[in-house]
Structure 1
Amino acid sequence: MDLRKLKNEDKLDLCRKYYLDVIRSMIGTVIWTAIISVWIVIFQLNRVSWGDTADAMSFIIPRGIP
């Protein structure tokens, strides 16, 4: 797309769309980061009490005395 051929109003509209997309992307990133962080904390705090279920969800099964 050649921006030199667009009217100034169309350029402004395009910039606004990009701006809103970037803002929405940042908001989504913050939300997903919060969700994943909360899940990690919950999983780490309850891993032992969840037993085999937590071991099945884990990629690394720690060594230890059963």
Structure 2
Amino acid sequence: MDLNRLPNDKKLQLCRWYFKVGCVFLPFVWAVNAIWFFREAFLKSPFEEQKQIKKYVLLSASGALVWAVALIAWVTVFQLQRASWGATGDALSFIVPLGRA
């Protein structure tokens, strides 16, 4: 979809919709929203809805960043500590690696 073809009120509506969808534990949608509307929020000449779009872009980027940091932290801890967790680590694993622990 080309955002240049949409009127500003529809851009705000779409940006708000993507933010709300991201609130349903879909951080990828927040990342898409932040990237897709970045130009509208920060690089275009000022328009009435820009302040609200900017707010949703910043919230989406922040949410996506927090989720990414949390996911990276979980993967790191899980990979480093899975063997020491014993049966719980094995139960959390989809594929249990064979060999030395």
Structure 1 position 16, deviation (Å): 1.1
Question: Distance between the aligned counterparts of 1:47 and 1:41, measured in 2?
Answer: 10
Q: Spell out, residue by residue over 1:19-57, the C-alpha distance to the aligned partner (whole angstroms, 9 max, x if none).
A: 110111000111111011111111111111101101111
Q: Cα distance, 1:65 vs. partner? A: 5.5
- Structure with larger Rg: 1
Q: Which runs of 4+ in 1 moved over 4 A?
A: none
Identify the residue that residue 22 of structure 1 maps to in structure 2: 57
TM-score (norm 1): 0.73
Which residue type is aligned with residue 64 of structure 1?
G
Larger RCO (CA under 8 A, 6+ residues apart): 2
Unaligned runs of 5+ in 1: 4-10
Using the aligned pairs only, state the percent identity: 34
Number of matched residues?
58
